[in-house]
Amino acid sequence: MAEDKKVKKTSASKKAPVKKTTVKKAASNSKKIKDESIISWTEIKKKMAKFPTPTELAKKEKLEPIIEISNLKKSYGKLVVLKDIDLQIFDTQDIGVIGANGAGKSTLSEIVAQVKPADSGTLKYSWGNTKRQISRGMGIQFQESTYPEGYKIIDLIQFYLDV
């Protein structure tokens, strides 16, 4: 037991050699790293232009969109929230909608999920265009997710399946 303690003390007391670097050398190394890691926006756009977009790839492979939106418009009174929205969504494609509060992100989602009607425009779904077929192909999670007390999860799922 006493020998174990000695081993622990001696192994813990050994220090790794410290590599000394002058301040001047460290500063030049950090400058070199910064210079190599800075890429201008113009260079990024040139590199991105070499690669096809998901829509271009889908057209090249002759894929049909699973959701196609054309000339979509939605207003609340005189306030036009969505105007001339055209969008194709292909299978396995991830979509993000970004915008300020009140820009129409939730409204667009609710129109696509058939929760709200559009004022004009067309929506086509690859799995069918009746309300029942559409509801079986997609779902939506609302911003406010408070549920009435006393409901079981299965009741809520059934409610949304029936919407």
Q: Residue 101 corresponds to which tokens in the numbers above?
A: 């509060």
Is residue 133 within a helix (H) or strand (E), and if so which, with residue range? helix 131-137
Q: Where are the beta strands (DSSP E) in the chain?
A: 67-76, 79-89, 120-125
Domains and CATH numbers, the chain: 59-162 (3.40.50.300)
Handedness of CA 94, 100, 106, 108 (dihedral sign): negative
Q: Could you give the CA distance from residue 130 to residue 110 in angstroms, rounded to a whole number? A: 16
Q: What pTM value is reported for the model?
A: 0.51
Residue 137: CA atoms inside 13 Å, Cβ hemisphere, count? 17
Residue-wise pLDDT for 19-63, tens only, equals 555 555 555 555 555 555 667 778 877 877 777 777 777 677 777
Q: Could you give the CA distance from residue 118 to residue 108 in angstroms, rounded to a whole number? A: 9
Q: In this structure, what DSSP letter does residue 73 have?
A: E
pLDDT at 61: 74
Residue-wise pLDDT for 64-113, tens only, equals 888 899 999 999 999 999 999 999 988 877 788 888 888 899 899 889 88
